[in-house]
Structure 1
Amino acid sequence: MSEDIIYPVREDLAGLQPYGAPQLEVPIRLNVNENPYAPSQAIIDDIASSVAQAAATLNRYPDRDFPQLRASLADYLATESHVRVSPENIWAANGSNEVMTQILQAFGGPGRTVVSFAPTYSMYHEYARDTNTRWVQGQRDPDFHLDIAAVEETLRRERPSVLLLASPNNPTGTALPVDDQKRILDIAATTGPQINGRATSTIVVIDEAYGEFRRAGVPSALELLDTHPHLVVSRTMSKAFAMAGLRLGYMAAARAIIDAIMLVRLPYHLSDVTQATALAALRHSAELLGYVDSLREERDCLVSWLRENGFDAIDSDSNFVLFGQFADRDAIFHALLTHGVLIRVVGPNGWLRVSVGTPQETDAFKQALKEVTA
């Protein structure tokens, strides 16, 4: 009987495979841009104690607006980026994935368009698909930077409700210069969809998932929030914070944007356990981010090493490096895997991406790469 059942799956989902990087048990895992340094025992103990306290009231729903967490995130941003954002202008969710989905639920949907420029984060297209938002993808220059004239032409032609731009960009690692951000924001002020005969603004989302890894002198888009009310800056605790397993992403934006997000959020979407863990991690932000400087140094040394050994490597403001170019990148990927090194096949054809690990992990990657390309 079950063989006769036909399920009414959405037609645009039929035959698709779910997103996911390979999850393989190998000695060296450098494929999903994690911070390779686990939290200390003191942090583990504080998290465990905080979760135990939360467990005592798990019979009650969590605070759906989580003001304490929003205030702590605002304090962190003031320290990290030297920009004071009101807690009312902060919103958090289960990873930056849910933040992005909520943005498109509020501002996208049927009859609306979201734009981005490839190569960029492969999940952006899926956020659009999952919210029934039309997806338009432009192209970056051969050096992976944005052509502002092409961005303007695309925005004026498509009139999107949302523009997604990662800075640093994934998988290239390139940061979007602040002057380019300003020019794009100025253009986007009047390129949104027409409503009642009037042009609206395109919501510009600057995705700073890897923002803490940016090089000295590279500012955060948070500095532009006060003067550009159609800007959203997205962050995460998964990368520099070494909290990928926590699943906590957040955004800073104008209150009107936050109010729209609250219309579409699921009730009580952040559990008490998630809130307690995030608050404990934020109390130890200085220690958790203590390896960021060494990871930056390791990244820059890796770029230099790759170039010295005959590979192309892109200057990076993130904790990963895009390198190549290979006639058969899949063959290189599988050859590295036989040496116990897992990296990522992603981005333009011919290129591979490797996360920055510990010095020992990076050395293992270098040795394996030399052997498989000898």
Structure 2
Amino acid sequence: MTHAVDQHSAPVPPVRLPLRPELADETPYGAPQLDVPVLLNVNENPYPPGEDVVATIAEEVARAARGMNRYPDRDATVLRQDLADYLTLETGVDLDHCDVWAANGSNEVMLHVLQAFGGPGRTALSFAPTYSMYPEYARDTHTAWVVGRREADFTLDPDHAARTIREVRPSVILLASPNNPTGTALPAATVEAVCAAALEVDIDGAHPVVVVDEAYAEFRRPGTPSAVALLERYPNLAVTRTMSKAFAAAGARLGYLVASNDFVDALRIVRLPYHLSAITQAAAGAALRHRESLMAQVATLRAERDATVRWLRQQRRPDGTPFDVAESDANFVLFGTFADRHAVWQGLLDRGVLIRETGPDGWLRVSIGTPAEMATFREALVEVLRNQQQDEQQDEHGEARA
């Protein structure tokens, strides 16, 4: 902000803003946004909506725009019913709009959960490695953050999870399935073990809530269960989803949660008034009308993911050992490990391919793109590793001559 300054006035001294102390050294969350030909770093759907989808969205948004002088439906009732109908068709679980909550991306849904069930004196629990935003939700709501561990193959041991829940006594348990950044899905038995352990914990006469984050659920391999099927048995369970990935609607920012009526009503208490714009509600509802064609794209991405996993497992590091590649039920693959993963990441970037440095040390994550984008990724990775191998051989020869 620029102000006119009187030449004769005294200079204004610097003013220190009263930022919360725990935020003083923090930086905003976000993956690199770089202008390169192949973007494979933030798990977006690489296929833009078809023209038929765009036309429907444009029509519905235009209808909503004609009433923009009025506030939107603050509870998004029509959209929530559309989402309930979609999940009922997918999972076979009979759902109503009262079982569904919607917000600006699953990020805001999760923030609502921590606002309602976390807070000072309470704890949120998850199992690392997992989504890097979870501790930020906790931080922003003054909720203590604790992590248990996943196994070497990134699965979650039910016994370890149950013991950790009994020891930590959290108010909120966050489980990503498929997990980000590993792509690992949770068996139904593991989710049940967590929910049952949570019911053994008493917090001021209540039990911890368990939130299964299924942002990538539509990309699961056949036979991989959804936690939605467990909702009737566990009233302390909620499942979150998003339209950003499978529905190619990352720009629309629409996430949602399905749970008991009581759970949903708790989130309605903490949401800001009119938090979900009429435009967002219209665009999301229009996209849901095209779920069949959009899900066809998901099948294409699943096949490309599986092919990428197979190809990565055939590759070798510069020292000749094979890659480690995590099993994935998402639209991305975690692979490694590299002594210097940043050098590999930078080498790919130098060749116009942006992937993500994330997860445990030494690992890299690649989102699944179009066949052409994945071919470019493969060619670039082979070249980067070949160059690294040549550099290492030259160094060895130089040392031998010395």
Normalising by structure 2, report the TM-score: 0.91
Structure 2 equivalent of residue 350 of structure 1:
362
- Looking at structure 1, the residues matched to 111 and 92 of structure 2 have their Cα atoms a distance apart, in angstroms, of 28
Structure 2 equivalent of residue 98 of structure 1:
108
Which consecutive residues of structure 1, in runs of 5 or more, have no partner in the other structure?
Answer: none
- The correspondence for 2:313, drawn from 301, 307, 318, is 307
- Looking at structure 2, the residues matched to 371 and 359 of structure 1 have their Cα atoms a distance apart, in angstroms, of 18
Structure 2 equivalent of residue 365 of structure 1:
377
* Pairs aligned (count): 370
- The correspondence for 1:128, drawn from 138, 156, 164, is 138
Following superposition, the deviation at residue 87 of structure 1 comes to: 1.2
- Please tell me whether residue 71 in structure 1 is matched to residue 81 in structure 2: yes
- The correspondence for 1:208, drawn from 199, 210, 214, is 214
- Looking at structure 2, the residues matched to 286 and 275 of structure 1 have their Cα atoms a distance apart, in angstroms, of 19
1:46-195 to structure 2, matched below 5 A, reads: 46-193=56-203, 195=204
Following superposition, the deviation at residue 67 of structure 1 comes to: 1.2
RMSD: 0.9
Per-residue deviation, residues 40-68 of structure 1 (Å, max 9, x unmatched): 11111111111111111111000111111
- Looking at structure 2, the residues matched to 161 and 242 of structure 1 have their Cα atoms a distance apart, in angstroms, of 33
Per-residue deviation, residues 71-99 of structure 1 (Å, max 9, x unmatched): 10011111222222121010000000000
Deviates more, 1:207-216 or 1:308-317: 308-317
Per-residue deviation, residues 150-197 of structure 1 (Å, max 9, x unmatched): 21121111110000000000000000011111111111112252x1xx
Structure 2 equivalent of residue 290 of structure 1:
296
Following superposition, the deviation at residue 3 of structure 1 comes to: 4.1
Structure 2 equivalent of residue 280 of structure 1:
286
- Looking at structure 2, the residues matched to 192 and 86 of structure 1 have their Cα atoms a distance apart, in angstroms, of 30
Following superposition, the deviation at residue 148 of structure 1 comes to: 1.7
- The correspondence for 1:43, drawn from 49, 53, 58, is 53
- Looking at structure 1, the residues matched to 115 and 193 of structure 2 have their Cα atoms a distance apart, in angstroms, of 26
Paired AA for residue 313 in structure 1: V
- Please tell me whether residue 233 in structure 1 is matched to residue 239 in structure 2: yes
Deviates more, 1:20-29 or 1:286-295: 286-295
8 Å contact from structure 2 (residues 162, 193) kept in 1: no
Which consecutive residues of structure 2, in runs of 5 or more, have no partner in the other structure?
Answer: 1-10, 317-322, 387-402
- Looking at structure 1, the residues matched to 353 and 19 of structure 2 have their Cα atoms a distance apart, in angstroms, of 37
Structure 1 residues 349 and 55 mapped into 2: Cα distance closer, same or farther (>3 Å)?
Answer: same
Per-residue deviation, residues 134-156 of structure 1 (Å, max 9, x unmatched): 00011111111112222112111
1:373 partner SS: helix
Paired AA for residue 103 in structure 2: A
Larger Cα Rg: Structure 1 or Structure 2?
Answer: 2
- Looking at structure 2, the residues matched to 2 and 126 of structure 1 have their Cα atoms a distance apart, in angstroms, of 35
8 Å contact from structure 2 (residues 100, 258) kept in 1: yes
Q: Give runs of ≥4 in structure 1 deviating > 6 Å.
A: none
Normalising by structure 1, report the TM-score: 0.97
8 Å contact from structure 2 (residues 175, 211) kept in 1: yes
Following superposition, the deviation at residue 289 of structure 1 comes to: 1.7
8 Å contact from structure 2 (residues 172, 210) kept in 1: yes
- Looking at structure 2, the residues matched to 2 and 23 of structure 1 have their Cα atoms a distance apart, in angstroms, of 36
